[in-house]
Amino acid sequence: MYKGSALSDPQPSKGTVRRKILREEEERELIHRAQSGDDQAFVELIHPYRKRLFLVSRRKLNQTEEAEDVVQDVILRVYLHLHRFQPSQSFSAWIYRITLNLCIDRLRKKKADFHLDDPGTGGMRRDMYNRVLSIELTPEELLLKREQEQEVSRAINGLPPRYRMVMMLRYMGDLPLSDISEILHLPVTTVKTRVYRGRKALQHQLAATL
């Protein structure tokens, strides 16, 4: 769809492809066993994701302790709802989306807990109050913003799998290319190419709706 040798994904070696297929087959087997009640299989399934989930959470929340809490919440959420997971889905996309949603929930709660009357001088409180008022959205603007965010999220879900994950981590997770490279075990050049192509595909989808 998007031509040009400069934008072509580096071609993996046959050995790399075989290892990837093997990992996917092993993961599917672990999922099947975990869904059947094998707790050891669940531990083996989650273990490779723990560090990557922490990276995503820490980047999104900018707090180590909260990121660790989110990882624990994600593991519990996956454990409780794994029976709903369909083999046709991407497990990695599923678990990262749970992680990002939990991070977003925490960020929203922080905003809801913010009080203008926190300790401080009256002048500081008034200054904060004025700054908040200057950027506060009207209910109509807030509704429109949320609808647009939902539309973008749906559009990302509709992207081909190779672009969907990098776009989710890049634009919903606010992750730099280097972190996405580490999480997905892809060269930075490949991540950069997929972000570029994913953005083009996303713009094409949104042009008809926004």
pLDDT at 123: 41
**17-38: pLDDT as tens digits:** 455 555 788 999 999 999 999 9
> Which residues form the domain of 200?
138-210
Asked whether residue 102 falls in the same domain as residue 194, the answer is no
pLDDT at 190: 92
Asked whether residue 142 falls in the same domain as residue 107, the answer is no
**54-98: pLDDT as tens digits:** 989 998 898 999 999 999 999 999 999 999 998 888 898 899 989
Domain containing 196 — which CATH number? 1.10.10.10
Asked whether residue 152 falls in the same domain as residue 199, the answer is yes
Asked whether residue 82 falls in the same domain as residue 148, the answer is no
- Answer whether residue 169 is part of any domain: yes
Asked whether residue 109 falls in the same domain as residue 203, the answer is no
Q: Which residue has the higher pLDDT, 184 or 117?
A: 184
Domain containing 80 — which CATH number? 1.10.1740.10
Asked whether residue 26 falls in the same domain as residue 109, the answer is yes
- One-letter identity of residue 66: E
Average pLDDT over residues 149-166: 81
**95-126: pLDDT as tens digits:** 998 999 899 888 888 765 544 444 444 444 44
Q: Which two tokens stand for residue 172?
A: 């919903």
pTM: 0.65
- Answer whether residue 166 is part of any domain: yes
The CA-atom distances, in angstroms, between 86 and each of 81, 82, 181, 184 are: 11, 9, 26, 21
Average pLDDT over residues 160-179: 85
Give ∠ CA 137-143-148 in degrees, rounded to 5: 105
Alpha helices in 9-160 (DSSP H): 14-35, 39-46, 50-61, 64-81, 91-113, 122-135, 139-157
Query: Could you tell me what percent of the chain has a pLDDT over 70?
Result: 71
Asked whether residue 197 falls in the same domain as residue 144, the answer is yes
Provide the pLDDT confidence category of residue 9 given band limits of 50, 70 and 90: low
**Structural domain count, the chain:** 2
Asked whether residue 110 falls in the same domain as residue 158, the answer is no
- Answer whether residue 133 is part of any domain: no
- Kindly compute the dihedral angle of the four CA atoms of residues 187, 189, 192, 198, in this order, to the nearest 10 degrees: -80
Output the average pLDDT for the chain. 77
Average pLDDT over residues 43-52: 92
Asked whether residue 101 falls in the same domain as residue 165, the answer is no
Q: Could you give the maximum distance between any two Cα atoms of the chain, in Å?
A: 67
Tell the burial category of 170 from Cβ atoms under 10 Å away from its Cβ (0-12, 13-18, 19+): buried
- Kindly compute the dihedral angle of the four CA atoms of residues 196, 141, 155, 174, in this order, to the nearest 10 degrees: 50
Provide the pLDDT confidence category of residue 53 given band limits of 50, 70 and 90: very high
Asked whether residue 101 falls in the same domain as residue 159, the answer is no
Q: How many CA atoms lie within 13 A of 91 on its CB side?
A: 24
Asked whether residue 17 falls in the same domain as residue 103, the answer is yes
Q: Which two tokens stand for residue 96?
A: 């990262």
- Answer whether residue 120 is part of any domain: no
Provide the pLDDT confidence category of residue 183 given band limits of 50, 70 and 90: confident
Asked whether residue 143 falls in the same domain as residue 103, the answer is no
